[in-house]
């Protein structure tokens, strides 16, 4: 699991994904099932039990699929995310929660690949935006919820764009090269510990960082590159549905 962990932004985020694929994410119908059948909360705290239905859609059971893909603005968000991925030349898509295990399995590629890391993370931050906004969904109107998802997605995409130099450092650290027909890692585990820690470099970008930005993010229209090719400017919001 080394490479999959390194490719993700933080561990809280990985925790959400692992729970999601094991039906253990505390959300809607699944949370209710756990509260009633495992914790027997209906006997002691019936007022605390999660509603079976979506807070904003009457008669709609709050499944993961509904919350992450179907509720409110989500279909438009996924359309936008897929357009961004198209423009970035990143081919992998997530169309449903049911497809998540296979998506993650494919993402776990032992030979590090910058495009694959960014592709995976763009989809993960989309899921994370929904999960984080969902924490207060019960107390929000549909409009407030929609704005909260968009605000978070914009923030997480901005962070992901800033991660390019960090991903490149990780790719170098964990990368492989083919020598005389055999695959060798750039560094063994002991050497990796001696390497400097990957850092965010947003104003001192190197030429290979800029080349990666030109390949992946520039075609999306979400960034511009400074004339001196040492930094980028990010403008995410206009690309998202409003």
User: Where on the chain is the footprint of Zn ion (CB under 5 A)?
Assistant: 54, 56-57, 71
Would you say 54 or 150 has its CB closer to Zn ion?
Answer: 54
CB of 42 to Zn ion, least distance (A): 23
If the CB atoms of residues 74 and 236 are measured against Zn ion, the closer one turns out to be 74
Q: Kind and range of the H or E element at 132?
A: helix 114-134
Nearest CB to Zn ion, comparing residues 7 and 126? 126
User: What distances in angstroms separate CA 44 from CA 39, 49, 114, 218, one per listed residue?
Assistant: 10, 10, 50, 55
Smallest distance from the beta carbon of 54 to Zn ion, in angstroms? 3
Residue closer to Zn ion, measured from CB, 4 or 61:
61
Contact present, 40 and 153 (Cβ < 8 Å): no
CB 27 to Zn ion: min, Å: 12
Kindly tell me the burial class for residue 120, based on how many C-beta atoms sit within 10 Å of its own C-beta (0-12, 13-18, 19 or more): buried
Least distance between Zn ion and beta carbon 37 (Å): 23
Contact indicator for 202, 231 with CB cutoff of 8 Å: yes
> At CA 126, angle to CA 218 and CA 209, rounded to 5?
30
Closer Cβ to Zn ion, 145 or 217, answer by number = 145
Nearest distance from residue 71's CB to Zn ion, in Å?
3
CB 47 within 8 A of CB 124: no
């Amino acid at each position: 699991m080394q490479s999959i962990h390194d490719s993700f932004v933080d561990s809280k985020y990985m925790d959400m994904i692992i729970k999601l694929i094991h039906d253990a994410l505390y959300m809607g119908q699944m949370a209710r099932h756990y509260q009633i059948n495992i914790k027997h909360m209906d006997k002691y705290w019936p007022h605390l039990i999660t509603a079976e239905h979506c807070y904003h859609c009457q008669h709609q059971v709050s499944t993961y699929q509904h919350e992450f893909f179907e509720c409110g603005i989500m279909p438009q968000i996924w359309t936008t995310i897929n357009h961004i991925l198209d423009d970035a030349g990143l081919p992998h898509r997530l169309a449903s929660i049911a497809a998540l295990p296979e998506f993650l399995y494919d993402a776990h590629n032992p030979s590090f690949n910058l495009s694959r890391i960014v592709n995976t993370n763009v989809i993960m931050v989309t899921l994370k935006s929904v999960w984080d906004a969902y924490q207060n969904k019960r107390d929000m109107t549909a409009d407030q919820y929609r704005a909260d998802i968009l605000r978070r997605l914009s923030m997480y995409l901005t962070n992901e764009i800033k991660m390019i130099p960090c991903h490149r450092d990780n790719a170098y650290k964990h990368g492989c090269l083919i020598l005389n027909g055999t695959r060798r890692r750039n560094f063994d585990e002991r050497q990796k510990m001696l390497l400097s820690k990957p850092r965010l470099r947003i104003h001192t970008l190197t030429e290979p960082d800029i080349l990666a930005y030109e390949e992946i993010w520039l075609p999306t229209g979400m960034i511009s590159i400074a004339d001196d090719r040492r930094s980028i400017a990010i403008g995410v919001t206009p690309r998202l549905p409003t």
